[in-house]
Amino acid sequence: MFRSDNERTDLALERATIATSRAGQQIPGMDVREEEMDGIKITRVSVHTPQAGAQIGKPPGRYFTLECPALRFRSRETLKHVAGIIAAELSELAGLPRQNDVLIVGLGNWQATPDALGPRVVSQLMITRNIREHLPQELGGRLNPVAAISPGVLGITGMETIDIVRGIVEQVRPELVITVDALAARSPSRLLTTIQIADTGIQPGSGVGNKRPGINQETLGIPVIAIGIPTVVSGAAIAMDALDAYFQRFNPHARATLDSVGDFLGQELRDLMVTTKDIDVEIMEMSKLLASALNKATQPAISEEEMLDYLQ
Amino acid sequence: MFRSDNERTDLALERATIATSRAGQQIPGMDVREEEMDGIKITRVSVHTPQAGAQIGKPPGRYFTLECPALRFRSRETLKHVAGIIAAELSELAGLPRQNDVLIVGLGNWQATPDALGPRVVSQLMITRNIREHLPQELGGRLNPVAAISPGVLGITGMETIDIVRGIVEQVRPELVITVDALAARSPSRLLTTIQIADTGIQPGSGVGNKRPGINQETLGIPVIAIGIPTVVSGAAIAMDALDAYFQRFNPHARATLDSVGDFLGQELRDLMVTTKDIDVEIMEMSKLLASALNKATQPAISEEEMLDYLQ
Amino acid sequence: MFRSDNERTDLALERATIATSRAGQQIPGMDVREEEMDGIKITRVSVHTPQAGAQIGKPPGRYFTLECPALRFRSRETLKHVAGIIAAELSELAGLPRQNDVLIVGLGNWQATPDALGPRVVSQLMITRNIREHLPQELGGRLNPVAAISPGVLGITGMETIDIVRGIVEQVRPELVITVDALAARSPSRLLTTIQIADTGIQPGSGVGNKRPGINQETLGIPVIAIGIPTVVSGAAIAMDALDAYFQRFNPHARATLDSVGDFLGQELRDLMVTTKDIDVEIMEMSKLLASALNKATQPAISEEEMLDYLQ
Amino acid sequence: MFRSDNERTDLALERATIATSRAGQQIPGMDVREEEMDGIKITRVSVHTPQAGAQIGKPPGRYFTLECPALRFRSRETLKHVAGIIAAELSELAGLPRQNDVLIVGLGNWQATPDALGPRVVSQLMITRNIREHLPQELGGRLNPVAAISPGVLGITGMETIDIVRGIVEQVRPELVITVDALAARSPSRLLTTIQIADTGIQPGSGVGNKRPGINQETLGIPVIAIGIPTVVSGAAIAMDALDAYFQRFNPHARATLDSVGDFLGQELRDLMVTTKDIDVEIMEMSKLLASALNKATQPAISEEEMLDYLQ
């Protein structure tokens, strides 16, 4: 129903829902499985064919999404529970732990709070690649090699992120890359309460029609797992929601006109982003959660207590 | 026309426009003067009576607003030109320079980019109160005493900002306080392109009905000038704009229903804020502009070249 | 033996040792008790009379010092153990927990890593003063009110720190102030391995002869506990150590000339500070340790798990 | 006279002086030219042969050193004058401007103030590589392509800096790399008052005997210019200076014993670094100076006024 420009979302889950609703039927070559427990909903979208991928604007692959509205309340118990699920899923999708190097890449801009998720996660990781050989064998032998970098965005470096990452990968020769990034969602209710893990890597910018090369197996030659959390929705999304709510309530028959209004609005709202009022605290909490899940998944032989010894 | 909850703005200019439009006539006790030159629009709202203040939800006083859409392009020429106008207006409203101490207070949260304007301005000010006596008379004699602090927000200190500021004022005994703060606007087109200076001080939170004490002459016992730049609009504002645009175009007669839709939306959008995609760069530029205007207004005897010698 | 200018240290323990060695006998009015266990040495210096205070250049009061060379290795176990001892000592010296407000003040300059200890501790504290009333009674009733601020140094604010703190104290009316600060030591072996707690508050600058008012019961009207960790020694201290080592080994009879050399060196070395090569990591670890000890001492009814729920 | 361990310096000028004094004659294959004007001393050390390089512990190449004690007073005039000289020398040594890409690499650790020079310079550079094609030809045609990155240190990334830089160079294919780094000096009087430019690239760690690969033409395949400013001296240097001063004054005949004392001291002082008390302000000023010189040298067709339009 919505035009693609107003549908901008990095979540496969949202794209699958929109595409299915638009098609009025199941998308062939894609299957969606859901489970729910203890207030946590997990959705697994599998895109099996390029045709299905084209319909949702995402490359074929597996997309795991965890939704937990209670993350908003930031209780230690919830954060720990979710970190455990994410660690397990990362291990599954990424085949962790790995005996050989894993490179974790924090994407995004550390100078803009809503885009700072990746760099903040990286600053809390357990970096081991350089210290294993200097440790007693008893300990060093249980550590898997992890390296990490936050390369900065195009405006800061003047270079495409893929070029920086590809260059490092060719020198350091990791077995796997994991990217961490702040995402855009379509629905504001998903901000900071949803986590996506994909085995397809990432596509900078909004996907469809974008010619910039992705950070993925095709461009790096090794598997790329992308983990992300939506921190912004577009201004257009909010506007369209308002109109849709109005139509649903007052004028259901006029919903067909929504498209043209959206078109008109898009222009004005393009330079806006919508985020939460507590974004500073929420980014901090969610970056801790992801760092903890990544540390756990990459270093299963190290207890949480022991892990704290290596973290600064 | 709009409900007060969806009208949340710190700009007197916007509140005056809304109130006038709602009243369908000039508000008695308030006058609004506009001038425009070289793409810069200046509006002076004077609120002469408490009654007029109640209608716009702002205390009586003088409100200067500069709107310059070209600030968005950040050309040095525009930034310098606007800084000059702001310096002149500050001098006028604040009676600068002052022989006695001026205290500049950077309000807001340095951990959230859109709220970091005040602290960033303070970090670029020329602080002179402590060095004048250590300088050669030739130079020290031309410097006026300026002190500054960024106290941090309630969630970080556990204390109301007014308590911190009042305490410092009673010890340091400045002659004048100037606050610098990020503001909320109603219209997204004003984000980072509008500057407000008020001789009324500030009211933390959204104004109407808020019981938290303000930072103003009443609470501090000395004049308080507030300078601010809108960096966010509420999610509700964007939603209402979308609906209004729809009605204007497709259903002008139904605008009366807007209110109830707004009511319904308000609930969902309350925890969202809308800002610009380039907020990191824009905050940096506008904080430079305000710091430069404040330095100029407080130290008119120091040339720009000489000023750079004191700044770090 | 050493000249006062080369003896610059904020540690009562070092000053007591120097003064005793110079006097060639116990200082009347001062007693020093030591205990040692598990590689941790604890010294309690009690200065009972102004005369004794004058001899060591510190006001009368109680000074607790913990020395733990193993802190250098930053094992979680050691850090936790020391945090427990500091929490207990803070409780004892400061009469914690307090039903009424406690204000924690992070002194020092966040822009210079070796001086950033205070501000970093403050950023990791559990701030409760503002939230107790908004919490369920079951929880809020168990929280004690804690507020905190990092006011910044004179060069940044243009104001004496004591003025800022005194102003806040008079508005907020806490029952107790705890300052946290980076200290200067005389011996490099104490850097980042020693923690001092004093019930005398602090004296900005180096003490003897300094006319700037202190942050203490006399100036604030309420008890002031000062907690600090040495992060720097003066360049002169290193130079004197080298000379002393030389004399001890090669020319014991010439030690009398040390003084005049020290005098000569002082001039050149005055603008230097000596710190550790790992200061960035060590400041981070020790700020965590102190924040954890302060949180524990101020909120004994909250478990460590529960505490993490409030921290960002 | 001094042992190599106590001679740790990254300045070719200091190494040349020490080596010459030790040899008691000119080093064959090395020439040193000095000029002095307006309180600025410029020394050009040319190392023509590997033998000469081995004697001073630096690879063959050209080393430019500017010494300006007045930099300590940070007057705008001095800073601008020195920036101009550095820009001119960079242009000469680096063959600037370049039609093809220049990559500037900020080395060092942003979390430790004395080591943060490189990252701070990078954050103030004019990054143009990504915007030239989007600009009007009139302007874009006058811009030369500059990219930059601060990769972080080994402890933060787990990767050798050379691997990161080499990887990027192979992808981005710049014509030239310029590194910016904080250096170690032997003499404290050179801290923050000396600037070195070398056409030899850099050798991580202290040089002699270090097996870690350098960042230089040999490892990158393109010219590498290294620009640096000393921000630390070793604790051992201060200690040795004290002993030397003592001997000079009181016991000139005993200077032969200095070596063994130095040996003894070295052990204890190895983990200390000595920097200036105003390091936070001085790093800020000197990073501005270098960024300004680099911007000027890389973009000679852009006026200073115009340049400010691109900088954030």
Span A84-100, pLDDT tens digits: 999 999 999 999 999 89
Distance of CA C108 to the CA centre of its chain: 12
Answer yes or no: is pLDDT of D312 > 60: no
D109 touches chain C (CB under 8 A): yes
Which residue does chain A place closest to D147, by CA atoms?
A158
Nearest to D105, CA basis, from D146, D158, D62, D136: D146
Confidence category of residue D265, pLDDT binned at 50, 70, 90: low
Given a cut of 70, is residue B46 above it in pLDDT?
yes
Quick one: pLDDT at residue D211? Answer: 67
Question: How many C-beta atoms lie closer than 10 Å to residue B294's C-beta?
Answer: 28
Q: Where are the beta strands (DSSP E) in chain C?
A: 30-37, 40-47, 61-67, 102-106, 146-149, 176-185, 194-198, 224-234, 272-276
- φ, ψ for residue C171 (rounded to 5)? -85, -45
Distance, CA of A128 to CA of A135 (rounded, Å): 10
**pLDDT at position A268 over 70:** no
If DSSP codes are grouped into helix, strand and coil, which group holds residue B86?
Answer: helix
Q: A236 Cβ partners below 8 Å, 6+ apart?
A: A5, A6, A8, A262, A265, A266, A269, A270
Residue D290 in contact with residue D126, Cβ under 8 Å?
Answer: no
Cβ under 8 Å to D: C residues 172-191 = 188, 191
The answer, yes or no, to whether residue C276 has pLDDT greater than 60, is yes
Helix-then-strand count for chain B, H and E? 12, 9
What's residue C259's pLDDT?
64
- As separate numbers, helices (DSSP H) first and strands (DSSP E) second, chain C gives 12, 9
Q: Does A208 touch chain D (CB under 8 A)?
A: no
Phi and psi at residue C244, in whole multiples of 5°?
A: -65, -40
CATH of the domain at B38: 3.40.50.1450
Burial grade of B267 (CB within 10 A; 0-12, 13-18, 19 or more) = exposed
Tens digits of residue pLDDT in A218-248: 999 999 999 999 999 988 888 888 888 878 8
What pLDDT is stored for residue D256 in this prediction?
66
Q: Å from B160 to nearest chain A CA?
A: 18
> What pLDDT score was predicted for residue D134?
78
Q: Which of D74, D284, D309 is opposite residue B75, by nearest beta carbon?
A: D309
Q: Hey, is the C-beta of C212 within 8 angstroms of any chain B C-beta?
A: no
State how far residue D145 is from chain A, nearest Cα, in angstroms.
Answer: 9
Residue D150: is its pLDDT beyond 60? Answer: yes
Question: Would you call A127 an interface residue with chain D, using a CB distance cutoff of 8 Å?
Answer: yes
Query: Is the pLDDT assigned to residue C31 strictly greater than 50?
Result: yes
The half-sphere exposure of B208 on its side-chain side, counting CA atoms within 13 A, is 15
What is the per-residue pLDDT for A205? 58
Model confidence at B287: pLDDT above 50: yes
What's the structural domain count of chain B? 1
C149/B164 Cβ within 8 A: yes
**Residues near B129 by Cβ (< 8 Å), separated by ≥ 6?**
B101, B145, B146, B147, C158, C159
Residues D270-285 have pLDDT tens digits of 789 999 999 999 999 9
pLDDT band per the 50, 70, 90 thresholds, residue D303? confident
Are A163 and D168 inside 8 Å of each other by CB?
yes
**Do C157 and B171 make contact, defined as CB atoms within 8 angstroms?**
no
Residue A275 and residue B276: Cβ atoms within 8 Å? no
Q: According to the model, what pLDDT value does residue C48 have?
A: 97
The structure's pTM equals 0.93
Residue D200 pLDDT level (bands cut at 50, 70, 90)? very high
| D132–chain A Cβ distance below 8 A for any pair | no
Prediction ipTM score: 0.91
D144-173: average pLDDT? 96
Here the tokens at position B219 are 């609470």
B312 interfacial to chain D (CB closer than 8 Å): yes
CA dihedral B123, C171, B158, B154 (to 10 degrees): -50
Domain enclosing residue D144, as ranges: 3-311
Q: What is the mean pLDDT of residues C109-116?
A: 95
Distance CA D146, CA D140 (A): 12
Confidence of residue C207 (pLDDT cuts 50, 70, 90): very low
Beta bridge partners of B232: B184
CB proximity B269 to A under 8 Å = yes
Q: Which of C112, C242, C284 sits opposite D242 (nearest CB)?
A: C242
Quote the pLDDT of residue B69.
95
* Chain D: closest CA distance from residue B285 (Å): 6
- pLDDT tens across A172-190, in order? 999 999 999 999 999 999 9
pLDDT value of residue A198: 97
Task: Tell me the β-bridge partners of A197.
Answer: A64, A227
The answer, for A250 touching chain B at a CB cutoff of 8 Å, is yes
Residue B268 has pLDDT above 70, yes or no: no
